[in-house]
Structure 1
Amino acid sequence: MPDLATYKTLIDARLNELGARLSDIETELDLPKSKDLGEQAVDLEDDEVLEGVGLVAQKETALLHDALGRIADGTYGTCQKCGDPISDARLRAVLYAVVCRDCAQAAST
């Protein structure tokens, strides 16, 4: 059984990091655009990249909130496919992991 308090702390820290990143992205996207057409093209490309990074951060945030829900209901660290424990190494690598390494590998082949 994983140390739930430790994982909750790690998840909370990652959520704070993602929140700061999303705030920075929002600030950057709100900056006024240059009047120069060449600079505007570069700004638009940069904005597209930032929006992509923001979407990834939003998805990870949702997955981490789901993980907090599993901590609350006592299912965190249990593979949703086979019911075996998810290793600490996997949980530390992927805080929101819902399947064990073996089930994840089986799904990818």
Structure 2
Amino acid sequence: MADNSRRPLLRTLIGRVLRRHRLDQERTLAEVARAAAVSVPYLSEVERGRKEPSSEILAAVCDALQIELSDLLAEVGHELVEHRAPVFRLAPVAPVTPQTPGRFGGGSVMLLAA
């Protein structure tokens, strides 16, 4: 089973991106909440990743921030990729053949890892 303890929740990343856009626009929670027709406490919970907003709420908040929902989701996708666990792949190994004299010693195998 994969260790998901370091993988952030989707709602956390959505909130982070929404907050970043709001702050970049130098707008208050109250301004955006009013424009999106949601309560200030609810929008605050969404930004902090404590509430999982519906698609309707996300669309309303994106409209209030004048960003496309697809752009929000793309940014969240990029953050998910940044948090993805690294994948290690082994390089193909040459077939074992009789030892060439003078290379690495008798019958030994050398494995290099980065």
Give the TM-score taking structure 1 as reference length. 0.28
Give the TM-score taking structure 2 as reference length. 0.28
Higher helix share: 1
Looking at CA atoms only, which structure, 1 or 2, has the larger radius of gyration? 2
